């Protein structure tokens, strides 16, 4: 077994792990990134595409946003469509900040391309040990089949919901909060120009639909379906027919279609563990929390986590100040629960759950209020564009 040493071992080369690596490198802190998937898989993994103002600012400050600024789509509002009528929420006017449309896989490509430090793809047999000691370590097998041991001061678990980091914490330490929703999203990526300049969130008696985009030539669309939905029951013709039905409105509007490039069904859940740290292990992003996609918060919440962690590590290495590390979980969870509430609220307002006329009347009442009250619309806008990072 080969043994190497670094200051921070980062498990996972998604947005959380890669942004943390760049933050640490900027501050003179050594780190090594380990990823179980191949580089091609990580760079092609289709995920969210809405970036908060704070996320864009952070990437810009790191010098990692040149392509983002060239290719992004800046949005100053969203549409809420219900009762066949569209209502615009002017995000920038109400909250003073815009949102950016730029695919998560494009962010990952930019982060990898700019990274010149140790980054090991296709590792296997990853195990975390000594977490409560002063020298935790990660054992793994590299892509060449060589057993490796990485000794660290700190380990950052940025390896997602199914990763090894959270599972390495002893039983009984974590409190788990979880809610599973009775619906899922069928998402497609289509070679078709967007049919709207901004995102459309549609409440329909047939179910929720979302019209989003990735570029001027590629559209991202979603349909509310059952969690156990069979993709084989959704040929292209049915998908486009259902999208047109749910996005239909009284004014003149037409949905552009095209070849479907990718399709998948994603279950919806809310998940939070507390605390987000154990000994010298700190969890970030999906390793610690999952939010429903309705609020477009997953990537942005992960970036906020690692910003807090990078600041805390900077203070610790600079002068031994542990206050930020000790408060890491509490600091992050304040934002996590605000985002959880907003994502739950958006989900419950927009997704019909059955034939209960009482639930339907409550949803429509909330939608009418949000689109007629400036105060209610401002609250939605502030949460949607995201609050400044700590």
Q: What CATH number is attached to the domain comprising 329?
A: 3.50.50.60
**Domain boundaries, position 155:** 2-75+98-177+269-345
Residue 172 counted as domain residue: yes
**Is 210 part of a structural domain of the chain?**
no
Catalytic site residue from 201, 222, 278, 328:
201
Among residues 53, 297, 307, 351, the one annotated as catalytic is 297
> 22, 53, 75, 203: which is the annotated catalytic residue?
75
Ranges under pLDDT 50 in the chain: none
The CB-side HSE value for 139 (13 A sphere, CA atoms) comes to 7
Strand pairing category for 260-274 and 175-190? antiparallel
Predicted confidence at residue 64, as pLDDT, reads 96
Determine whether 109 is an active site residue. Answer: no
CA distance 228 to 180: 13
User: Is 357 designated active site?
Assistant: no
Number of domains in the chain: 1
Q: List CB contacts of 66: < 8 A, sequence separation 6 or more.
A: none
Distance between CA atoms of residues 348 and 16, nearest Å: 28
In a domain, 126, yes or no: yes
Q: What does the pLDDT look like over 342-389, one tens digit per residue?
A: 999 999 999 998 778 999 999 999 999 999 999 999 999 999 999 998
Nearest Cα neighbor of 150 from 294, 311, 31 is 31
The reply to whether 293 belongs to the active site is: yes
* CB-based contact 173:278 (threshold 8 Å): yes
Catalytic: 307?
A: no
pTM (predicted TM-score): 0.94
- Does residue 238 lie within any of the structural domains? no
Q: Is residue 249 part of a domain?
A: no
Is residue 203 within 8 A of residue 368, CB to CB? The reply is: no
Catalytic member of 15, 136, 293, 352: 293
Give catalytic status of residue 75 as yes or no: yes
């Amino acid at each position: 077994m080969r043994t190497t040493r670094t200051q921070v071992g980062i498990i996972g080369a998604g947005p959380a792990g890669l942004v943390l690596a760049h933050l640490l490198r900027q501050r003179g802190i050594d780190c090594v990134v380990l990823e179980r998937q191949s580089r091609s898989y990580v760079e092609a993994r289709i995920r969210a595409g809405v970036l908060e103002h704070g996320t864009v600012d952070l990437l810009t400050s790191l010098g990692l946003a040149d392509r983002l600024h060239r290719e992004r789509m800046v949005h100053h509002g969203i549409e809420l469509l219900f009762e066949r009528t569209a209502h615009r929420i002017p995000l920038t006017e109400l909250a003073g900040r815009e949102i950016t449309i730029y695919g998560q896989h494009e962010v990952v490509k930019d982060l990898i391309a700019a990274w010149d430090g140790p980054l090991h793809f296709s590792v296997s047999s990853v195990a975390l040990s000594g977490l409560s000691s002063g020298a935790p370590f990660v054992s793994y097998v590299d892509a060449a089949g060589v057993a490796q041991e990485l000794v660290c001061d700190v380990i950052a678990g940025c390896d997602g919901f199914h990763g090894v980091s959270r599972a390495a914490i002893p039983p009984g330490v974590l409190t788990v909060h979880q809610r599973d929703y009775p619906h899922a999203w069928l998402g497609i990526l289509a070679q078709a120009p967007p049919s709207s300049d901004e995102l459309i969130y549609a409440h329909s008696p047939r179910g929720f639909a979302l019209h989003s985009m990735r570029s001027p030539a590629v559209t991202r669309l979603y349909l509310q379906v059952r969690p156990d939905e069979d993709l084989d029951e959704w040929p292209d013709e049915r998908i486009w027919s259902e999208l047109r039905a749910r996005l239909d409105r009284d004014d003149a509007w037409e949905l552009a279609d095209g070849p479907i490039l990718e399709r998948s069904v994603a279950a919806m859940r809310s998940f939070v563990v507390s605390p987000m740290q154990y000994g010298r292990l700190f969890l970030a992003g999906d390793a610690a929390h999952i939010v429903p996609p309705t609020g477009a918060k997953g990537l942005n919440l992960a970036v906020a986590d690692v910003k807090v962690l990078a600041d805390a590590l900077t203070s610790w290495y600079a002068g031994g100040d542990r206050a930020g590390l000790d408060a890491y979980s509490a600091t992050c969870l304040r934002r996590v629960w605000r985002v959880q509430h907003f994502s739950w609220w958006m989900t419950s307002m927009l997704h019909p759950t059955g034939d209960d006329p009482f639930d339907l009347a409550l949803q429509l009442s909330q939608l009418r209020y949000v689109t007629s009250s400036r105060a209610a619309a401002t609250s939605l806008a502030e949460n949607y564009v995201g609050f400044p990072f700590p």
